[in-house]
Every structure is written in C-alpha cells, then in structure tokens.
C-alpha cells in the first residue's frame, strides 16, 4: 500500500499547523517596550571628549576588573617589550573603551577629512534589549524603574545566547576560565546606594560622558542642538542634576543621535561631530528584534492553546491507531506464519 | 523481499563486539575525552575557536541544531505509523527511535560541553529562573522532555529483553499518550531551533533571516529525518550484511520530497515577497551557501521523480544523502556563515572542537552497533546474509 492522497493531506495538515501558527504572528504581535519614566542612562558627546581615557581605569576600579595587558610596539625598531593596560575593545575583562577615528593627517578634531574623533563603547541599555529576550534563565534583566540592563552571575548558565543576540556586540564572555561569566556595563548600579553613579561619568573631566535621567539627557541633547556651533555655553559635568559645570564651546553635530531609534531606542545616547558609520556604530532598524522574536513565539505558544489543541488531535489519533486498530507499539509482533518452526498453534 | 521482511519480528543481530571498526570508534571517543578534560579544567577558550563575535560554534550549529534534525526520523516515523496509521512503515520504527535517542543524547551532551556554567544547567527547569519569552528556554526544555519521551517509547524493547511481561503490557496500554507527546515536542523545538535566529535581527544575512524560519526549519527537519532513516537503513544493510529495504525507504523519501518542496516554496516565496531574492545573485559567502544547500535539497526532487526511480537502491541512497546534506549545510550556514557580527570577527572550528564532534558521532555509531547486536532492534533477517543487497 503506498501513501495515498488522504495521507498526504493529513501530513500536509500537520506541517500546516506550524504555518498557521506562523501567520498568527501579526495577530499576537508583542508591542514594542517603552522607556521607563525614571530611566537613567548616559549621554556621550564626542565633541567634548578629549580622549584622555580616564573613564577606562575608573570603570575597572569601580567594577573590580583586572587590567588587560596589551604589548605595544615602541621605539625606533618597534620592539614589543612595553606592556600597557590598553584594551582595544570591550571584553570579558573590560566594560568600557574610548576609541578613535582618524583620517589623513589626523589633526582636525571632529572632522572627516584629515581629522579625528572619539567614541565610547559600552552597553547602551536598550529599551527593548535582545539579551534580556534571549536569556533562558532570567540572568539578564531590565530594571522596571531605572531601565538598567543587569546581569546576575548567580542565575547564568553560560549559554552565551545574549552575546550572540546583542546587535551592539556588548555582553562579553570570559572564554579564558573554567568558571566563566558574562561581563557588561550595569551603569555602576552597585554604587548607587553610596551616592555614586556610573564611574565613567563621575571621572570625566569634560562632561563628555554625562550621567542622568534619560528625559533630562534628552532635553540636554535638544538644548545643545538648538545652540549655534562655536558659541559658548555651560556644560554640566558628572551627573546632569549635579552641582558641577563649566563653560565650553558648542560642537557641530551630525543630525543623528545614536541610540534615539536604534532597535527601539537606548538609554545611552551618543552625539558626534562625524557620521556614526565612521565610529563603528552598527546601522540598525528601529524595530527591536526582541519584539519580532517574541511575537513569533507568542503567536505559536500563546496560552499554549495551539500546542494543546495539536496534542489533543495527536493523542486521539495515536489512541485509535494503537489501541483500537491494534497497530503494534515498538515491540515484537506475533511470530510470522512463515517462521521455520513449522508447527501451527 | 521487503514484503516478507515487514512481518519479521525484531531480533538481536548478534556477532562480535570487538572488531577493527569498533576499536577505531573507541579510539575516537578517547580522543574526545582528552579534549574535554582540557575544556573543563581550562575553559572553552583553551580548546575552541569561539570568541565574543562568534559565541556559538560547531558544537551548537552541528551537534545540536543539525544533529537533532538528523534524529528527527524518530518522530516523523512515529507520526506516520501511529498518528497517520501507516502500518507499512512499522519495521522502521525501532531503528528510527534508537537513532533519535542517540542523536538527542548527542545534542544534550554537546550542550553540556558548550555551556560555560554547566553545573547550573538545572536552572532551566526551575520556575524561579524560567524566562518563557526566550526561544532558547523553549528549545532547551522541549529537547530535554523529548529525550525522556524517546526513552519511554523504547522501554518496551528493554522490558522485552528483560522478560518483564507485566510492566510491558501495562506500558503498552498508555504508550499512545507518550507517542503523541513524542510527535508534539519535536514539532515545537525543531521549528524553534529556526526561531532562535530571529532575535539576532540584522546580524543574520537577509537570505537567511526570516519570520518563516520556524516553518523552514520544521519542514527541512522532517525531510532530513526521513533521509537519515534511509541512510541508516543503507548503512546497516552494508555494515551488517542485511537486505536494503529500498522500496519502503523510497516511499518514505517520497514524503520527504514533498516536505522539501514545501521548504523550497516557502524559502523562495518569502524572499520574493521581501524583495531580497536579488541578494542570491550578489557574490557573497551566504549567497554561495544559499545555492549550495538549495541545490542539494533539490537533488531528490529530480533524482527520485518517478515511482521507478524510487525503487532504485542507488537513487534512494544518493537522494537521501543529498537531502540530509542539504539540511546540514542549511543549518551550518544559517548559524555560522550568514551570522555576521561585524568586521574583525572570524570563526572556524578548532581541531579540538572537531575532535569532540567526531568523537560524539563515533560514540553514537558505536552505541548503535552494540545496540542492534545485543537488543532486538532490527527486523530479523530470514534469508541468508550472503544474498543481502548493498545500497550502491
């Protein structure tokens, strides 16, 4: 007996269950998440950064992380005997780096031709983070009040789905130890209780890295953009609602604020004098991949209705086949008539 | 011959357990143990080429994603025999379930090697930690549950061997429930293995990133499952000098062809709708693998086009090989080639990673050889082994 038309249809129907669930995606779409009212974050203004990198050791000290020794070629013959704590990228042991763009003679600050510019790389604290959606064991969490994307080593199983999922390449894994963990900036939330805040902002001498509530930081961005480039203004230093400030020169910004729309917005925002493509900031859509992924999952598994319904059909069919029609389970059927024993019962 | 064979009861194949083949397999397993000793004492970086740009490598892409898809024969054959009442495929159910069990144990073992904080893996099963929005949570819980279900589905074999008639009869009365769950769970996690990629967003090349990934993975998995059952049939025919059930397997591949047809239709249809098909003609590595896997998957469509083709041992074997290989290439490309986290990151599996993957496969083959020689898995061959047909 070959598989007949009906069998095909049934099989096709089984496969189609997934297809139906797939189309339910739009119906059960998970709405994008919104910024918490009291969300905190950072504003990094590249035009204010002087590239002193003071934020890097401050971050290491505040987060109790070891130096990353990078051998650098020095001297006329380029010998590599000098070793510096000079991480070139964030890693399992580095949460924050300042990086530079340079072109041609590299003498004019914040200019594309023959210029240079600084950028900061650290967690952007997404409004709708991919890492939080990916984590199977709630080790990555988004604080409902501050919006800080936190990590709990106590919950983590080390699957690295967060590392793979983050489009900014932020969570980093320590591959060099048998007891690894994920490293990422948590805005120094462990220092809040002592009246401290993000160490990078706390030590920044020019206010290039500024800590504060996202709504205040957004107002500050609007204020800076409203001023004429080259004019003088007062820049807050440390935290936006703090006492410290100084008078400086307004930079000439590119139109875009990085972090405003990227995958649904982030709590760390960047202003720059050169286009963000030059600063190794990835070009990303405004829809969060987390909402797409969860819409598909919720579409298929909403209230477990579809799987339960499917299971009901399967149980009924299996019962009919195995108990009523007597199709053998995976066990020995009765001995065949043609067996060599010869005798008939 | 196959008509006769269908009615023969499963029986241990017998024969020597220590042979040159099993000795080599054992050596490969030992090499894996050596690499794993280093991995567990010095960390993943000591033996793998994994990095923060490619945090998932061969162990996930091949051993878990492709390996469990090749083990899908267990649920697709159960679906045919017990849900769709196609009793003719009954002789295939035991070998398919054994292969499925080993494939899923391989996937589970791989996950344990790969998990950085493996000693905390049980967090997955605690409500306190469960994160139900995570695709990986669904995959992990579902795969674990299904591995248990396969073991239960195979319990009658063990009970039979132990001569425990009463528990075997009791189990058989309720087995239909486990069989049903054993079809549901792989449908869920095999599609979710594709959904895993969705949260990667634009990091996955548009030729691969799609909201249809669940259906693409499910349909190709089912095809791969049928192909794997066919290949296992061919290998056991050659290796154990048993008849190759090419006609029955040819029919199985016919169903596989339909599923691969669905896969190709959805894949190309989706790309057309999204207006991304042009990228397949723009030179890039993902475009190359895109054509490679789709061509491989298309091979059985013409190689096994007619009923006569499907009774040729050679065509059945090569058709199944192309189907399985196409599915493997699709999975490896989706997770490792189409996945790109930006300039500066590279990944190619290390010797250590390859040693573990090969060692796990060797372990699996070794276990199958021992299982069929000792346990009643394969239908008894009534005819003399000398007259056995070879697949090629």
Domain CATH code at residue B269: 1.20.1630.10
Nearest to A133 among B133, B222, B376 (CB): B133
Q: Give domain status of residue B340, yes or no.
A: yes
ipTM of the complex: 0.89
Mutation choice for A interface testing from B7, B65, B81, B83 by most A CBs within 10 A: B83
pLDDT higher for B93 or A290? A290
Q: Give domain status of residue A336, yes or no.
A: no
Which residues of chain A are within 8 Å of residue B195 when distances are taken between CB atoms?
A: 293, 296-297
**Number of domains within chain A:** 1
Q: What's the pLDDT score for residue B165? A: 87
CA angle A94, A95, A101 (to 5 degrees): 90
Q: What is the mean pLDDT of residues A271-277?
A: 96
Nearest to B176 among A164, A310, A323 (CB): A323
Q: What is the mean pLDDT of residues B103-120?
A: 93
Nearest to A317 among B83, B121, B173 (CB): B83
**Number of domains within chain B:** 1
Q: Give domain status of residue A20, yes or no.
A: no
A136 touches chain B (CB under 8 A): yes
- Of A333-337, B6-10, B350-354, B388-392, where does the model show the most confidence? B350-354
Q: Would you place residue A173 in the very low, low, confident or very high pLDDT band (cuts 50, 70, 90)?
A: very high
Question: Given a cut of 50, is residue B391 above it in pLDDT?
Answer: no
Nearest C-alpha in B relative to A307: B184
pLDDT higher for B131 or B99? B131
Q: Give domain status of residue B34, yes or no.
A: no
Q: Give domain status of residue A3, yes or no.
A: no
A4 touches chain B (CB under 8 A): no
Question: Given a cut of 90, is residue A109 above it in pLDDT?
Answer: yes
Q: Give domain status of residue A15, yes or no.
A: no
Nearest C-alpha in B relative to A134: B134
Question: Given a cut of 60, is residue B174 above it in pLDDT?
Answer: yes
Which residues of chain A are within 8 Å of residue B117 when distances are taken between CB atoms?
A: 156-158, 179-181
Q: What is the mean pLDDT of residues A78-84?
A: 67
Nearest C-alpha in B relative to A170: B52
Residues 52-91 of A with CB under 8 A from B: 91
> Residue A172 sits in which domain range?
40-70+82-287
pLDDT in tens, A32-79: 899 999 999 999 999 999 999 999 999 999 999 998 887 776 666 666
pLDDT in tens, B346-380: 999 999 999 999 999 999 889 888 888 887 777 77
Q: Would you place residue A254 in the very low, low, confident or very high pLDDT band (cuts 50, 70, 90)?
A: very high
Residues 101-130 of A with CB under 8 A from B: 130
Nearest C-alpha in B relative to A10: B84
Q: What's the pLDDT score for residue B97? A: 87
Q: Give domain status of residue B377, yes or no.
A: no
CB-based contact B116 A14, cutoff 8 Å: no
Report yes or no: A95 and A185 within 8 Å, Cβ to Cβ: yes
Question: Given a cut of 50, is residue A343 above it in pLDDT?
Answer: no
Residues 34-53 of A with CB under 8 A from B: none
Q: Give domain status of residue A34, yes or no.
A: no
Q: Give domain status of residue B324, yes or no.
A: yes
Nearest to B255 among A3, A136, A163 (CB): A3
User: B245 vs chain A: nearest CA distance in angstroms?
Assistant: 15
Nearest to B43 among A134, A175, A297 (CB): A175
Q: What's the pLDDT score for residue A75? A: 67
Q: Count Cβ–Cβ pairs < 8 Å, chain A vs chain B.
A: 269
Q: What's the pLDDT score for residue A338? A: 39
Question: Given a cut of 80, is residue B72 above it in pLDDT?
Answer: yes
pLDDT in tens, B280-308: 999 999 999 999 999 999 999 999 888 88
Q: What's the pLDDT score for residue B110? A: 94
Q: Label each residue of chain B as H, E or C.
A: CHHHHHCCCECCCCCCCCCHHHHHHHHHHHHHHHHHHHHHHHCHHHHCCCCCCCCCCHHHHHHHHHHHHHCCHHHHHHHHHHHCCCHHHHHHHHHHHHHHHHHHHHHHHHHHHHCCCHHHHHHHHCCCCCCCCCHHHHHHHHHHHHHHHHHHHHHHHHHHHHCCHHHHHHHHHHHHHHHHHHHHHHHHHHHHHHHCCHHHHHHECCCCCCCCHHHHHHHHHHHHHHHHHHHHHHHHHHHCCCCCCHHHHHHHHHHHHHHHHHHHHHHHHHHHHHCCHHHHHCCCHHHHHHHHHHHHHHHHHHHCCCCCHHHCHHHHHHHHHHHHHHHHHHHHHHHHHCECCCCCCCCCCCHHHHHHHHHHHHHHHHHHHHHHHHCCCCECCCCCHHHCCCCC
Q: What's the pLDDT score for residue B370? A: 86
A170 touches chain B (CB under 8 A): no
Structure pTM?
0.88
pLDDT in tens, B128-149: 999 999 999 999 999 999 999 9
pLDDT higher for B347 or B18? B347
Mutation choice for A interface testing from B181, B201, B212, B250 by most A CBs within 10 A: B201
Q: What's the pLDDT score for residue A140? A: 97
pLDDT in tens, B38-57: 999 999 999 999 999 999 99
Q: Give domain status of residue A115, yes or no.
A: yes
pLDDT in tens, B319-340: 999 999 999 999 999 999 999 9
Q: What is the mean pLDDT of residues A222-243?
A: 95
Lowest mean pLDDT across A17-31, A143-157, B311-325: A17-31
CB-based contact A136 B124, cutoff 8 Å: yes
Q: Give domain status of residue A56, yes or no.
A: yes
Q: What's the pLDDT score for residue A44? A: 98
Q: Would you place residue B195 in the very low, low, confident or very high pLDDT band (cuts 50, 70, 90)?
A: very high
> Residue B338 sits in which domain range?
49-349
The CATH number that applies at residue A155 is 3.30.70.20
Q: Give domain status of residue A275, yes or no.
A: yes
């Amino acid at each position: 007996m070959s598989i007949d038309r009906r069998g095909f249809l049934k099989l096709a129907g089984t496969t189609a269950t997934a297809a139906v669930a797939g189309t339910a995606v739009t119906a059960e779409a998970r709405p994008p998440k919104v910024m918490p009212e009291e969300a905190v974050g950072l504003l990094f203004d590249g035009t204010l950064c002087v590239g002193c990198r003071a934020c890097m050791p401050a971050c290491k000290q505040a987060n109790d992380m070891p130096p990353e020794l990078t051998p650098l070629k020095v001297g006329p013959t380029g010998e590599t005997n000098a070793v510096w704590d000079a991480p070139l990228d964030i890693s399992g042991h580095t949460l924050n780096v300042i990086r530079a763009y340079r072109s041609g003679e590299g003498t004019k600050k914040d200019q594309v031709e023959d210029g240079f510019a600084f950028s900061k790389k650290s967690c952007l604290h997404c409004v709708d983070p991919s890492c939080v959606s990916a984590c199977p064991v709630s080790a990555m969490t988004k604080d409902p009040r501050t919006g800080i994307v936190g990590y709990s080593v106590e919950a983590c199983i080390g699957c690295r789905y967060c590392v793979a999922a983050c489009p900014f390449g932020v969570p980093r894994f320590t591959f060099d130890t048998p007891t690894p963990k994920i490293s990422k900036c948590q805005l120094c939330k462990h220092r809040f209780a002592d009246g401290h805040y993000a160490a990078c902002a706390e030590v920044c001498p020019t206010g290039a890295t500024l800590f504060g509530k996202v709504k205040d930081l957004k107002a500050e961005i609007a204020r800076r953009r409203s001023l004429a480039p080259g004019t003088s203004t007062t820049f807050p230093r440390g935290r936006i609602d703090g006492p410290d400030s100084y008078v400086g020169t307004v930079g000439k910004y590119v139109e875009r604020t990085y972090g405003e729309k990227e995958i649904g917005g982030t709590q760390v925002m960047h202003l720059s004098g050169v286009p963000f493509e030059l600063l190794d900031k990835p070009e990303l859509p405004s829809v969060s991949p987390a909402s797409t992924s969860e819409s598909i999952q919720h579409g298929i598994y909403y209230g477990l209705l579809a799987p339960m319904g499917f299971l009901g059909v399967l149980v009924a069919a299996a019962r009919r086949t195995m108990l009523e029609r007597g199709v053998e389970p995976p066990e020995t059927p009765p001995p065949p008539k043609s067996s060599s024993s010869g005798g008939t019962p | 011959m196959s008509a006769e064979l269908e009615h023969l009861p499963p029986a241990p194949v017998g024969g020597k357990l220590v042979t040159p083949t099993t000795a080599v397999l054992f050596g490969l397993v030992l090499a894996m143990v050596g690499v794993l000793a280093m991995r567990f004492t010095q960390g993943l970086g000591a033996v793998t080429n994994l990095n923060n740009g490619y945090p998932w490598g061969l162990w996930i892409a091949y051993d878990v994603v492709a390996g469990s898809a090749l083990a899908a024969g267990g649920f697709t054959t159960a679906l045919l025999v017990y849900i769709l009442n196609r009793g003719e495929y009954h002789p295939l159910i035991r070998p398919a379930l054994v292969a499925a069990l080993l494939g899923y144990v391989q996937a589970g073992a791989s996950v344990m090697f790969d998990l950085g904080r493996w000693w905390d893996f049980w967090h997955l099963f605690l409500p306190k930690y469960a994160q139900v929005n995570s695709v990986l949570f669904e995959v992990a819980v579902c795969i674990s549950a299904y591995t248990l279900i396969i073991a239960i589905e195979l319990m009658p074999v063990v009970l039979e061997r132990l001569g425990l008639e009463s528990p075997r009869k009791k189990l058989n009365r309720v087995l239909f429930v486990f069989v049903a769950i054993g079809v549901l769970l792989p449908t869920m996690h095999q599609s979710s293995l594709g959904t895993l990629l969705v949260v990667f967003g634009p990091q996955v090349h548009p030729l691969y990133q799609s909201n249809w990934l669940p259906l693409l993975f499910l349909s190709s998995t089912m095809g791969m499952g049928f192909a794997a059952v066919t290949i296992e049939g061919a290998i056991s025919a050659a290796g154990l000098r048993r008849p190759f059930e090419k006609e029955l397997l040819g029919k199985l591949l016919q169903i596989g062809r339909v599923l691969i047809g669905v896969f190709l239709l959805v894949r190309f249809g989706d790309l057309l709708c999204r207006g991304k098909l042009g990228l397949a003609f723009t030179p890039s590595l993902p475009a190359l693998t895109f054509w490679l896997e789709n061509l491989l998957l298309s091979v059985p469509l013409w190689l096994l086009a007619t009923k006569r083709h499907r009774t040729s041992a050679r065509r059945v074997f090569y058709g199944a090989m192309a189907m399985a290989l196409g599915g493997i290439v699709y999975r490896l490309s989706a997770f490792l080639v189409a996945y790109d986290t930006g300039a500066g990151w590279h990944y190619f599996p290390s010797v250590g990673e390859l040693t573990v993957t090969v060692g796990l496969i060797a372990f699996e083959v070794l276990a199958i050889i021992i299982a069929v020689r000792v346990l009643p898995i394969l239908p008894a061959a009534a005819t003399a082994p000398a007259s056995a047909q070879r697949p090629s």
